[in-house]
Amino acid sequence: MRKTLLALCFALPAGMVAAQSPEDAVKARQGYFEMLGAQMAVLAPMAQGKMEFDAAKAKVAADNIAALAKVDVSPLFMPGTSTDDLGDKTRALPAIWEKSDDFTAKATGLHEAAAAMPAAAGSLETLQPAVGKLGGACKACHDDFRAK
């Protein structure tokens, strides 16, 4: 898993450069968020008590989230990639570009929460609030900038 994620992190920036069409940008953007979601799928059940806490697995997922949050995904949010432009090929609402300052602030909140994850992965007591904060950062953006 770690090698796969590492390979994707190196391939993703190359894919961003190659994302010349709006459709390509959307596919790359969706792939990026799927990688984040896969890591949350490890951490959230532990934090919710639905899965036994495993410090080693939590550390890997937390490190992956922190690494992914360092990737500059702004090229993937190019104009012409909203629901108004591409219909059901994306769930990115036009509000991303209409309220770019708010979108950027929420992305910063995600990056800050993600950066705290590796330090929080060592115990269930520290993981739970960190996952809550990270989930809240995700939700804040989804509520305003993602079609349901």
Q: Detail the residues annotated as belonging to a binding site for heme c.
A: 138, 141-142
Q: Residue positions in the annotated binding site?
A: 138, 141-142
Q: Which amino acid appears at position 36 of this protein?
A: L
The angle that helices 22-47 and 55-69 make with each other, rounded to 10 degrees, is 150
Q: How far apart are the C-alpha atoms of 69 and 111, rounded to whole Å?
A: 5
Q: Give helix 2-18 / helix 22-47 axis angle, nearest 10°.
A: 150
Instruction: Report the distance separating Cα 118 and Cα 83, nearest Å.
Output: 34
Angstrom distance (rounded) from CA 70 to CA 88:
28
Residues 2, 39, 95: CA angle, nearest 5 degrees = 125
